[in-house]
Each structure stands twice: as C-alpha cells, then as structure tokens.
Amino acid sequence: VTALPAERLRVTYQLSCGPGEAPEARARDIAVEQTVELPLQCVPREIAARFVGQIEAIEPLGDGRWHVVIAYDPIVLDDAVPQLVNLLFGNISLKPPVLVTAIDWPPSLLARLGGPRWGIEGVRALVGGEAQRPLLCTALKPLGLSAVELAHLCYRFALGGIDIIKDDHNLANQATAPFRERVERCQEAIAKANRESGGSSRYFPNLGVGSPALAEHIAFVRTAGCRGVLLSPLILGLDAVHWIAATAELAILAHPSLSGVWFRPDHGIVPELLYGEIYRAVGCDGVIYTNVGGRFDFPEAACHAINANLRKPLGLLRPAFPVPGGGVDVQRVRHWIDRYGIDTILLIGGSLYAQGDLTAASRRLLDTVRAHCQERLVKEAGG
C-alpha cells in the first residue's frame, strides 16, 4: 500500500527584495507570519514541522522581483472561510509588499467550499435556457427613486428582454425604497413583464445587510419568488457568501464594491485570482468586474484572465459567469462577444438609460446580440 501524497494548499507570491535583502528570509517570514506567528525557537519542533508553511520554490524574476511558492498543510484551516482569508492575506497585508498570484487548491478544500450552486448552466436555465448567446444584465438606479419607480424601470427592462435586472449595489434599506417593498414591487413587475412578453427575465435584489437580518432578507426574497441576488462579497464577508451559496438556493451575482483595495500592483491578490478563483470557490455564480474601456480602469489582459479562471476546470466546481461591466453598449456589444465569447453576462447600464425608452433600447440590444451570435454560428459552421 502506498500512502497518498499529502494534500497541500500551495500559494504563489511575488515580492521585491531591496539590496542586501534575502528572498529566503522574506519567504520564511511569510511562512511563519501566516501560521504560528512566533519566532521558531518558541515553537515546539513537531508543530513547526507541520504548521509552518514549507517553502517549495524561490526563483528570480529579474529587477529584484522574486517568485516564491509556499505549501501549507490544510490542517491550518477549518471548515469556514475566515481562516482561509487569514491564511491567504491576513497579517501579511500589514507587512512589506507581497502579491499573491496563484493558488494550488487541494481538492478536499474545493469540495468543502463547494463553489457555485448554479454555475453557468444553472443561471442560463433560470433565465430561459437560451444557450447560444451571452446573457444581458442591467442595474436598477439611481438611488433615490421610490420602490414604485424602480419597479417601473424593472418592468420596462424585462419587457425589452434583459435577462437579469439587478438592484444597484447601493440600494440597501434606505427610506426612499425600503428593501421589502422594493423586492415585492420589482418582483411583481418582472412577473407581469414576463407574462406579457413570454420572457423569463429575473430580478436580483441586493443583499445589503449583514448578520442576522441577512437570514431574514434571504427568506424574504425567496418567498417573494426571486431566484438570485446581488451582493458585495468584500462588504458582507466571504463567509456570508459561502453560507448563502450552500444553503439558500439563490444564484449569487457578486459586485466588486471595495475590492479595489486589493489590487495594488505589488501588494494584494491579483484580480483573476480574487474574482476568478476565490469568489468562485466560495460560491459566486457570476462575478461582476470593471471591464476595460469603461469608467473604471482595468487592463484587457486582466479581464481575459478573470474570464478564463471563472470558466476553467477547478476541482469539481461548476464554472461561473464572468460579468464585465462598463464600456459595453449597443455599438460595442459585437466586439465584446467576439472578445469574451458567449459564456458571459454583459452588464449594461448607462448606455441603456441614456436612450430614454428602456424597453426599445433593451430590445434593440438583445436583437443585436442574437443576430451577431447567429452570424457567428453560421460562420463557424461554414469554416
């Protein structure tokens, strides 16, 4: 009988060393800081051997940059997400710059995290099952409209065929459109639009409260008939996301609010890993990110890397939808379909609002998307 190789959580870091600084010392410091947090002479030998991260690689990248791989025994983790976050970037967030660039996940950890409950296929099925095109998503805004006004927008977008109509992420429980009233009215509006159009649009309300009201809000949106929600993982906490994914049977669309604090070029977790693997592993079915060319500033290579990670094989996790937002409008929608492929949700806000008649604008967009995808299919068949 051969023993199975022990599982390891391998984390890849990039770091810079000044003159006279040894990359080995920096790597050892990370391996200790993220685990036992004591000088090694104060740590019993058998604990140091098992609990301190093992340095597996230190390689120069040029210009004083180094590539470091540290392997952690999953025994340092428990079943919840907070300790995973501690391990990945807790204390080192406060130390000299270090960038987490890759994670090699132990299959048992992925299985425990569980990933998306719905995934790409499941979310498609929720909105009617059309397989050969990207889905379309828009946001109800601005903050300040009443629940009745937001529900009217919801109705008009749904009538035009937008698949997912989500709350803006800053619609919480403000007096102008209280959560419960908004959810009920928007859900009624979308049901009415679907009856009239024969469509399958869905309304995803924003979960903007933490524990314990969160559980009540989840029960409320389910009772109202919603099948998905928007939330901001870094504001509610990644563990809350994990719990919702595992228990609520709601599709989860992740908003990037606050996530920019992580994306320092030399310190943090690279976006394709935070959005593409960590958000996916804890259970997001779709991940909104700030598309290149929009009102935020994200390079196209990062967008492609996020897309690839969300869709790639990762243990037994379902793939999740990339949801580029910003810079997508009727004029450019064909371009983005060609760049990103059909397993994408295109988030389109301002450019629909700017057209005034939301139903007509939405329908025009959907027609363009369908026609372009049809054309691509014909080309592929011919090629």
| By CB under 8 A, residue 76 contacts its own copies | yes
Write down the least CB distance from residue 234 to its own copies, Å. 9
Beta strands in the chain (DSSP E): 9-16, 54-62, 65-72, 98-104, 135-140, 164-167, 202-204, 228-231, 251-254, 263-264, 267-269, 286-290, 321-325, 345-347
Figure out which of the listed residues 68, 81, 126, 310 binds its own copies, where binding follows CB under 8 A. Answer: 81
Write down the least CB distance from residue 194 to its own copies, Å. 26
| By CB under 8 A, residue 268 contacts its own copies | yes
What tokens does 330 get?
């009727």
Figure out which of the listed residues 17, 55, 85, 125 binds its own copies, where binding follows CB under 8 A. Answer: 85
CB-based contacts of 4, cutoff 8 Å, min separation 6:
none
**Which residue in 208, 247, 256 sits closest to 229, CA to CA?**
208
Q: What mask of x and - would describe binding to its own copies in positions 1 to 40, judged by CB under 8 A?
A: --------------------------------xxxxxxx-
Write down the least CB distance from residue 59 to its own copies, Å. 25
Residue 26 or 124 with smaller CB distance to its own copies = 26
Write down the least CB distance from residue 94 to its own copies, Å. 4
Which residues ranging from 48 to 67 are in contact with its own copies (CB under 8 A)?
Answer: 50-51
Cα distance between residue 340 and residue 348, in whole Å: 15
Write down the least CB distance from residue 286 to its own copies, Å. 17
Which residues ranging from 114 to 153 are in contact with its own copies (CB under 8 A)?
Answer: 139, 141-145
Q: What mask of x and - would describe binding to its own copies in positions 277 to 316, judged by CB under 8 A?
A: -------------x----xxxx------------------
| By CB under 8 A, residue 95 contacts its own copies | yes
| Residue 152 bridge partners (DSSP) | none
Which residues ranging from 201 to 230 are in contact with its own copies (CB under 8 A)?
Answer: 208-215
**Which residue in 228, 354, 337, 331 sits closest to 283, CA to CA?**
228
- Residue identified by tokens 């559980």 is 215
**Which residue in 268, 266, 269, 296 sits closest to 281, CA to CA?**
269
Which residues ranging from 235 to 264 are in contact with its own copies (CB under 8 A)?
Answer: 235-240, 242-243, 256-264
Cα distance between residue 264 and residue 153, in whole Å: 37
DSSP codes, 43-58: S-HHHHHHHSPEEEEE
Residue 119 or 233 with smaller CB distance to its own copies = 233
Ramachandran bin of 357, using left for φ above 0, alpha for ψ from -120 to 50, beta for the remaining angles: beta
Which residues ranging from 154 to 173 are in contact with its own copies (CB under 8 A)?
Answer: 168-170, 172-173
Q: How many residues bind its own copies (CB under 8 A)?
A: 85
**Which residue in 177, 138, 173, 182 sits closest to 156, CA to CA?**
138
Which residues ranging from 338 to 367 are in contact with its own copies (CB under 8 A)?
Answer: 349-350, 353-354
Residue 86 or 368 with smaller CB distance to its own copies = 86
Write down the least CB distance from residue 311 to its own copies, Å. 22
Residue 208 or 324 with smaller CB distance to its own copies = 208
| By CB under 8 A, residue 42 contacts its own copies | yes
DSSP 278: I
